[in-house]
């Protein structure tokens, strides 16, 4: 439970395949680089590994102008609501790749300050393991995302995005109701989800 459930009975039409081809070959990343994985990302963008041959030449550091959120590095609990806000401000279609073990699961940091995986606060499409992952691994991760995009359909409902916006609304309600900062509300939502056995707050 907690995996993004893909509707297996969806048939992709020819229009879908054209649209998916266009989308997967023009993924404009938003490099949400916080730590060492960002350095490996820089290496991936450079000429030897050349990420731009996947259509990702245009790095957009704004959520409005990008469609792929690459979370590169450790996300602290203080950074969690910031990440949620960035993801909320992106326009569909949007995908998230958790690059590195810190983004995937908290990595080697099992502490009070580190978010134990960004999938607790935002929906994630692909996890790329490594500390840091080699550029080839990250490219492999994006290629897996491309395969995933090929299987999408225009008529498919993206439940995980809907649930995310509902959790954002819950977060805002809690903030207003209890007068706490966004950081404390998200932390409490994460701990409460942990208490109930799940981990995700979306």
Partner 1 sequence: MVIERIDAQLPGAILDRHAFRGDATIVVAPGRLTELVDFIFLEGFQLLADITAVDWEAREPRFDVVYHLLNLVSQDRLRIKVPVADGEAVPSLTGRYKSADWAEREVFDLFGIRFDGHPDLRRLLMWEDFPGHPLRKDYPLDGGDPFCTQDIGASYSPEARSLNA
Partner 2 sequence: MTPSCSPFLPVLLLFLLAVGVGAAILVVSGKILPGLLKPENPQRAKLTPYECGVPPLQEGARHRYSVKFYLVAMLFILFDVEAAFLLPWAVQYKTHLWTFWAMLSFLATLLVGYVYAWGKGALDWER
Q: Which residues of this protein are in contact with partner 2, per CB under 8 A?
A: 15, 19, 62-64, 81-83, 85-86, 88-93, 154, 158, 161, 165, 168, 182
Q: Give the 3-state secondary structure percentages of the chain, helix then strand then coil, rounded to 5.
A: 50, 10, 45
Shortest distance in whole angstroms from residue 104 CB to partner 2: 20
What number of chain residues touch partner 1 (CB under 8 A)? 16
Which CB atom, from 46 or from 89, has the smaller least distance to partner 2?
Answer: 89
Cα distances from 83 to residues 14, 33, 60, 76, in angstroms, run 35, 11, 16, 10
108 counts as binding partner 1 under rule CB under 8 A: no
At residue 128, what are phi and psi to the nearest 5 degrees?
A: -110, 110
Residues 6+ apart with CB under 8 A from 59: 28, 29, 30, 31, 45, 66
**Residue 19 interacts with, from partner 1, partner 2, none (CB under 5-8 Å by kind):** partner 2
**Residue 165 interacts with, from partner 1, partner 2, none (CB under 5-8 Å by kind):** partner 2
64 counts as binding partner 1 under rule CB under 8 A: no
Shortest distance in whole angstroms from residue 67 CB to partner 2: 10
**Residue 49 interacts with, from partner 2, partner 1, none (CB under 5-8 Å by kind):** none
In the structure encoding, which two tokens stand for residue 194, read together?
Answer: 């942990």
**Residue 175 interacts with, from partner 1, partner 2, none (CB under 5-8 Å by kind):** none
Among 116, 146, 167, 171, binds partner 1 (CB under 8 A): 116
122 counts as binding partner 1 under rule CB under 8 A: no
Distance CA(8)–CA(10), nearest Å, equals: 5
* Most distant CA pair in the chain, distance: 52
Give the closest residue to 61 by CA, choosing from 20, 93, 89, 23: 89
Q: Which stretch binds partner 1 (CB under 8 A): 92-100, 124-132, 160-168, 179-187?
A: 179-187
At residue 69, what are phi and psi to the nearest 5 degrees?
A: -95, 110
At residue 125, what are phi and psi to the nearest 5 degrees?
A: -95, -45
In the structure encoding, which two tokens stand for residue 197, read together?
Answer: 């056995």
Among 1, 8, 110, 177, binds partner 1 (CB under 8 A): 110
Shortest distance in whole angstroms from residue 48 CB to partner 2: 30
Which CB atom, from 42 or from 82, has the smaller least distance to partner 2?
Answer: 82
Number of CB atoms found within 10 A of residue 105's CB: 19
């Amino acid at each position: 439970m907690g995996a993004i459930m893909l509707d297996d009975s969806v048939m992709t039409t020819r229009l879908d395949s054209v649209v998916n081809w266009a989308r997967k070959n023009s993924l404009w990343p938003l490099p949400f680089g916080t730590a060492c994985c960002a350095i490996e990302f820089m290496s991936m963008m450079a000429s030897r590994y050349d990420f731009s041959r996947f259509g990702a030449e245009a790095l957009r550091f704004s959520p409005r102008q990008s469609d792929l959120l690459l979370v590169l590095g450790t996300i602290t609990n203080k950074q969690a609501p910031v990440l949620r806000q960035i993801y909320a401000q992106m326009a569909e279609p949007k995908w998230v790749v958790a690059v590195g073990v810190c983004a995937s699961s908290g990595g080697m940091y099992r502490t009070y300050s580190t978010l134990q995986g960004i999938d607790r606060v935002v929906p994630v499409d692909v996890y790329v393991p490594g500390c840091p992952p080699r550029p080839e691994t990250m490219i492999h991760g994006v290629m897996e995302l491309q395969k995933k995009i090929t299987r999408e359909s225009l008529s498919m409902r993206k439940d995980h995005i809907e649930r995310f916006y509902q959790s954002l609304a819950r977060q805002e309600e809690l903030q207003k109701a209890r007068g706490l900062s966004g950081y404390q509300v998200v932390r409490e939502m994460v701990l409460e989800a942990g208490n109930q056995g799940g981990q995700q707050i979306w």
